Every structure is written in C-alpha cells, then in structure tokens.
Amino acid sequence: MRILLIPFLLLFHVAIHAGGIPDPVVVKVNDRIHALIGPMEFPNAKNQGYMVNSTVIEGETGVILIDTGFSDEIGAHLARHVAALTRKPVKIIINTHHHGDHVFGNAAFPEAKVISSEMCRKLLLEGEAEWLAILRAAVGRPFPNTRAVPATEVYANQTRTDLMIDGVNLTFWVPEAAHTSGDMLIWLPDDRVLVGGDVLVQDIIPNFRDANVRQWIETLAQVKDLPARVIIPGHGPLMTPADAASMHARMASLYTGIEAGYKAGLSDSEIRQRLDLSEWRPLHRFEEQMGGNINRAYLEIEAESF
C-alpha cells in the first residue's frame, strides 16, 4: 500500500503546485489569434515561475503556440487555457529565444514540433542547467519533469523566411542579435500582428542580461517598418506601433547617454547619476534591473572601443 501511495502523493504534490499558477489574461486579438498575458513579477513561489506572455494561433487543423513558460507545469497550465479556446491540438511550438521562462514549458507538448532560431537551440542546450537552477531557487522546490526540449526546425541568424504553416502565413525574422543572440520575431502579414518575444516589452524594464544593446536598438528601428496593428510583447500588455517606437526612442537615448559618459571618462555608476531616467522609473523592475542594464551597455560600449 505504501509503495502504491508514493506515486499518488507525488502527483498530488505537483497538482497542488500547478493549481497555484496564476491564470493568464486572455486577450482576443482577432478570430484566430489570442494573447495569453502572464504575470509581470520575477519568478517566485506565489506565481510558481509563471511570468511570460504566450500567443495562440489557430490554424486549419491545429494550434501554433508561441512560448510555453518556465516549467512543464506552466506548459500544461497554458495547454488548459488553449483547450478552452479551441478543440484543435497544439501541433507547433515556436520559441522566441532561449531564456527558460519562455521555453521549458515545451516539455508539456510531446507531440508538437518545436521551431526556433538556430542560435536559440544552441543556447538552450548550453544553458539548460543554469536556467533550471534559476527556476528552482526562485520557486523554492525541484521541478523533476522540467527539461530542455530543443527545436527540430531552426532558422539562421540574419534571415527572414516567409512560409505557410497550417494555413497561416508567417514570417520568421531572426535578427543578428537583440535581447539575445538567438531571438526570433514572428510576423503575421495577413493579420498585421507581430509577436516580438522579449525584443519588445511593455510597461517593464527590458533585460539586457544577454543582449547586444546596439543591435537591439537597430532591430527596434526596423520594427517601425512593419505595418503592424498589434504587437504581442514577451512581457506586459499588448503594444501598438507607437509603443514600440517609444521603446526604441527610450533605448536609443539611454545608449547615447551611456556612450557619451564613457567617452567623457566616467564610470558606469557616475553615468547613472547623470542620466535622465525619468521615463524609465515608472516601469516595473526599475530598481532591480536598471543598474545592471546600464553596466551591461557600458561594458558593450567599452568593448567596441578597443
């Protein structure tokens, strides 16, 4: 009896935690596209690591799901919300980049094909242990069924590929680098919807952790060339083209200010004291991330000067 109870108790333990995952805010973009807007906080015990936006695209026979969350439990949680929108199965997973909060939910969709940039696949496999450690430390428990499930179909950097998947026209846009060196943005020309991953975020400080900030700014400038009606960011509420233009201007101004301070011989901490950060202060995670972002951009500018 004790042996039989052990697996039951383990499943019950997982179910309790999975039940504590917050529900996404489901936003209907049009008849076949829904955005699942996740929490904006850092991963913690309360949100069980759920902190990302996902996109549900209904094709002719199945669902294309863009970004799957930080664990197999979150992936399963999102699957239940997809099932509330359509009876069609999730057939395609697209990962916008390798950060764990966007990809580890892939494990909940064993029948789906996974697509990403070539560099995303490489970075996911190399960084699996690090991102799993971040999840476990943040939530305070193990995730025995969470693992990296890399893409089997990949696209090279500095490419734009037009294709049709299950009746849906898509463009896979892989810049040279931006938020990471393996980002992929997804453009839906018929719907005029752009899914930006963390290249585009709203009401929150962008994360420069693995960024090439200069190339990120260049990518944001190119976003303005798309005739988008709606932009689904990696974090935060839906964006308009005006919101994306504001993000571009804010980041370009920040980079210019840091670069000017570096050329004047100032340290990154001295530059921070002199920068006008009034547009950044109202955004989520300002205190936690702004200093690190300035340091990251400073080191990039310093490296480029040699």
Q: Please give the pLDDT value at position 299.
A: 97
Per domain, the residue ranges of the chain are 2-304
Complete edge-to-edge strand list for the sheet that includes strand 33-37: 25-28, 33-37, 54-58, 63-66, 90-94, 113-117, 153-155
Contact 214, 252 (CB under 8 A): no
Which of 46, 47, 92, 50 lies closest to 72, judged by CA? 50
Predicted local distance difference test score (pLDDT) of residue 27: 98
Query: What is the sign of the dihedral through the CA atoms of 123, 165, 173 and 208?
Result: negative
pLDDT digits (tens, 9 = 90+) for 91-136: 999 999 999 999 999 999 999 999 999 999 999 999 999 999 999 9
- Domain 2-304 belongs to what architecture? 4-Layer Sandwich (3.60)
Neighbour count for residue 269 (Cβ, 10 Å): 11
Burial degree of 2 (CB within 10 A; 0-12, 13-18, 19+)? exposed
Place of tokens 């039940």: 19
Mean pLDDT, the chain cut into blocks of 10 residues (306 residues total): 37 48 98 98 97 98 98 98 98 98 98 98 98 98 98 98 98 98 98 98 98 98 97 98 98 98 96 96 97 97 91
| 115/95 Cα distance (integer angstroms) | 6
